Every structure is written in C-alpha cells, then in structure tokens.
Structure 1
Amino acid sequence: MRQVILDTETTGLNPKKGDRIVEIGCLEMIDRRLTGRQLHYYLNPERDIPGEVVAIHGITNEQVKDAPIFAQIADELWQWLAGAELVIHNAAFDMGFLNAEYQLLAKQQGKAVNELESVCEVLDTLKLAREKHPGSRVSLDALCKRYGIDNAHRTLHGAILDSEILSDVYLMLTGGQTDLLLDDADPASVEADSLDLSALATAQGALVKVVPTLEELTAHQDMLKLVGKKSGTEIDWPKS
C-alpha cells in the first residue's frame, strides 16, 4: 500500500478569504515504511504573508518571492499523489487549501474542477486520534508526548518536519511497537510463517520449556534497541 504523509503551511486559515499555500511537504510510505522519496515545495503565494503567520512557520515574503507559484507545480503534485492514501493531521484544513488551489487554477484555465479526493484516499490522523483517545488533547505535539516521540527540534512549524513527526505518530496510532520491524526483516516471510504450538506440550499434555537460541536472543535485543530508539526510552529487559 502506498501512502503519502502530507502537510502544508499557508498564509492564514481560510482559503475562501484568499489565503494561499506557501509550503507543501510529502513523504512516501509503502507497507508502513518510509521509502526516502519525498516531494517538497516552497511556493510564492502571490500575496502577502502576515507577520503573525510568519511567527508560526518562519516563512517570509522575501524567502518565497522567487519560488514557483502553485500553477507551476500543480501537475507534478497531482501525479505524485494520485493513487495514494494521504495521511494528514487535520485533513480538512490541508485538503481544503489544496482543492482551493486546484479550483483557482481550473478557473484561470477555463477547465472543469477536479478535487484531489477523486484520485486518492484520505486518512485523517486527527479524527483517528480523537476516536482512540476521547477527551484527550490530540494535537501533534500532544500525541508526541503521549507516545514518547522526540519533537524537541520542532520550534517552528514546517511541512517536511511535521510530516516526519506525523509518520511516527501515525505508526503508533495504528499499531505502535508491533509494527516496528528490523531493517533487514522481510515482512512477506513474517506473514508467511504460521505459529506451530504443538512443540509446547508433550503427548501427555505437560508443558515443555523452550529455550531460545543465540540467534533468537540477539534478534530480541536488536528489537529492544529499535523500540528504545523509536520511543526515546532506554529499555532494561530482564535477562533471566
């Protein structure tokens, strides 16, 4: 399954009042693993970026004055997102802005309006978090705190940085540590193996003590190190 973790930064809160996108960040994830492929744009919004908004994401008018406008990247972005499931925190906000940009472009070109939802699925992690943690704060920062995800480097909002953080939050929301696999693990082989519990008992039904091999113990320690790295917590697992 191909997913795209997506975030945008804008000039304000309402595209219907003329606010535009100034940054788009997309990370590709396949089978719950980031592939390293990404799409990232800074955009000239063709309008002023208010000072109070610059204080949030740090993107100034000067920084994006020579950046491409949305019309110049629209086709590439559409093709990159087509067929994927978009994973977005507060999807109504980002999708509202993206569709508004495509609607404006279609109007300028005299073409029929198409919405992104016509070519991709959308998963809203904000909605998912509210369902999983009712009554709790479910901002990206709050979820990072809940799941032990390090976001200390997030002093300003940024589309790529927020997408990277969201990818960790999404994995924890939808399965957590059970979905963390070693880099050299083959998911297909893991799924293909079925558990044979017959070795746990003798013919008389008495339980048999199964001693892990050195290879299994090493793999276990590697997994603990990976989980510790992801959670930011040192795991001291009893060895006996």
Structure 2
Amino acid sequence: MREIVFDTETTGFDPKGGHRLVEIGCIEMIHRVPTGQVFHAYFDPERDMPAEAEAVHGLSIAFLTGKPKFVEHAADLITFLGDAPLVAHNAAFDFGFLNAELAACGMQAVSLDRMVDTIAIARRKHPGAKLSLDALCSRYGIDRSHRTRHGALLDAELLAQLYVELMGGRQIGLELAADAPAVGATAGDAPALGQGTPSATRPFRPARPHRPSDAELARHGEFMAGFADPLWTRG
C-alpha cells in the first residue's frame, strides 16, 4: 500500500485570511516503509511574512522571494501524490492550505476522503495526553534532537516514524516464520493458518526428555544439603 506523509509551512493559520503555503515536504511510504522518494519545495508567497510565523519555521521573505510560485510546481506535486492516502498531523490544517492553493491554480481539490490525521489516531490511543508532534515523538522515543525549528520535510520525516509507531510499531510486516512467503506471493501460496511451514521442509527433532536422571537427583540432593537452616525447612 502506497501512502504519502506530508507537512506544510505557511504564513499564518487561515488561507481564507490571505495566508499562503510557503513550503511542502512529502515522504513516500510503501507498506509503511519509506522508499526514499520525496517531494520538497519552497514557494514565494507573494506577500509579507508575519514575524510570529517566521519565528516558528525560520523562513523569511528575503529567502522565499524568487522561489517558484506554487502554480509552477502544482502539477508535479499532484503527480507525486497520485491517489495515495495522505497522512498529516492536524491534517485539516494542511489540507486546507493545499486545497486553497490548488483552487487558486484552477485545479481540483484533493478529496478529504484521503485524509489520515495522526492527531486523531493519537487521541484514540492516548486520550488526555499531549498530542503535539514533539510530545508524541518523546513518547515513542523518536530522536528529534536535530529539530531546532519547524521544517516541512524534516517534520514529515519525523511524522513518518511516528505514524508507523501509532499504527503498531516496527513489527508491522514482521514474519515470524523463517519460510514465510515472499512479498508478492498470493494468499494461496501461504500455508493455512495453524499449519506453519510444511513439515517436509523441516528436520525431525525427537522430543527431549525432561525428567532428571538419578545422578542429577543425587547431585542436587548433595547441593541442597549444604544449606544451613534453610528457610524452606522451617515450620
């Protein structure tokens, strides 16, 4: 299963108030394993950058001026996203900005049916707990020591690790049988539940005796006799 984990940075909180998307970072995952394929871009917002927003992500207008406009990368972004589910932290925020930018380009919005919100998943798993990306990374032992400021690609990388943990951890896909069917094998190729690997492929191992021998019992008796006034003999 292909999924895209993504994050955005913006000039503010609400695209309806004229705020714009200035960075997007996307991580491709197949069966919840990062493939190494990413999409990352900065955008010139064609407006000012409020000081409070710059304090969060560190992206100044001086840095963003001259970067491509969103419309210049929109087609490539949509191609990268494909029809995969889109995973984000507080996903409604990121979807809101992404769809506002697509609408400004005259392009079709990304369906909210594709939204996977890790905050909603975390809230179900940890009711009452802190749900920020930092807090959840700390809970799951995900190293974020290199994160001094928000950044779309860095946050997407952290979120990809967190998403795996929220969905069951690194044991996803773990094969307990050494001869488990290879990826791509059909259900008919695998042994039936409870059968395991066919016995013809396994060496026969006779049952091991577990009853101690007379010699072992004698040695044990000598050993126990060496205890002076043991607790287990007291009435």
TM-score (norm. length: structure 2): 0.75
Cα shift readout 1:158-188 (whole Å, capped 9, x = no counterpart): 0000000000100000011322759xx9545
- Deviation of 1:198 (Å): 11
Question: Does residue 169 of structure 1 match 2:192?
Answer: no
Larger Cα Rg: Structure 1 or Structure 2?
Answer: 2
3-state SS, counterpart of residue 178 of structure 1: coil
User: Using the alignment, how far apart are the partners of 1:173 and 1:135 within structure 2?
Assistant: 16
- SS of equivalent to 1:176: coil
Percent same amino acid at aligned positions?
47
Query: Deviation at 1:72?
Result: 0.7
Q: Is 1:52 aligned to residue 52 of structure 2?
A: yes
Matches of 2:174 and 2:183 in 1, distance apart? 8
1:181/1:187 CA distance change after superposition, 3 Å:
farther
Partners of 1:195 and 1:135 lie apart in 2 by 39
Give the CA RMSD over aligned residues. Answer: 2.6
CA distance in structure 1 between the aligned counterparts of 2:194 and 2:170, rounded to whole angstroms = 20
How far residue 195 of structure 1 moved from its aligned partner, in angstroms, is: 4.8
* TM superposition shift of 1:197: 6.8
What residue number does 2:131 align with? 138
After the TM superposition, which segments of 4 or more aligned residues of structure 1 sit over 3 Å from their partners?
Answer: 185-189, 191-199
Aligned match of 2:110: 116
The answer for the alignment partner of 2:81 in structure 1 is: 81
Task: Give, as a single letter, the amino acid of the residue that structure 2 aligns with 1:94.
Answer: D
SS at match of 1:179: coil
Distance 1:97 1:61 in 2: 19
Counting matched residue pairs gives: 193
Whole-Å separation in 2 of the counterparts to 1:154 and 1:91: 20
**Matches of 1:197 and 1:44 in 2, distance apart?**
57
Q: CA deviation at 1:82?
A: 2.3
Change (3 A) 1:198 1:93: closer
* Secondary structure of 2:130 counterpart: coil
Which of 121, 126, 135 aligns to 1:128? It is 121
AA aligned opposite 1:131:
R
Q: Comparing both structures, which one devotes a greater share of its residues to helix?
A: 1
1:23 is displaced (CA, Å) by 0.3
Partner of 1:116: helix, strand, or coil? coil
Q: For 1:82 and 1:156, locate their aligned partners in 2 and report how far apart those are by CA, in whole Å.
A: 29
1:7-41 deviations in whole A, cap 9, x for unaligned? 00000111000000110000100111111000100
The amino acid of 1:98's aligned partner reads L
1:31 maps to: 31
Structure 2 matches for 1:57-68, cutoff 5 A?
Answer: 57-68=57-68
* 3-state DSSP of counterpart to 2:72: helix
More divergent stretch after superposition (92-101 vs 173-182): 173-182
Distance in 2, matches of 1:7 and 1:197, equals 42
- The 5 A counterparts of 1:1-240 are 1-106=1-106, 114-117=108-111, 121-179=114-172, 186-188=182-184, 192=190, 195-196=194-195
How far apart, in 1, do the equivalents of 2:5 and 2:197 lie? 43
Name the counterpart of 2:211.
none
Q: Which amino acid aligns with 1:116?
A: V
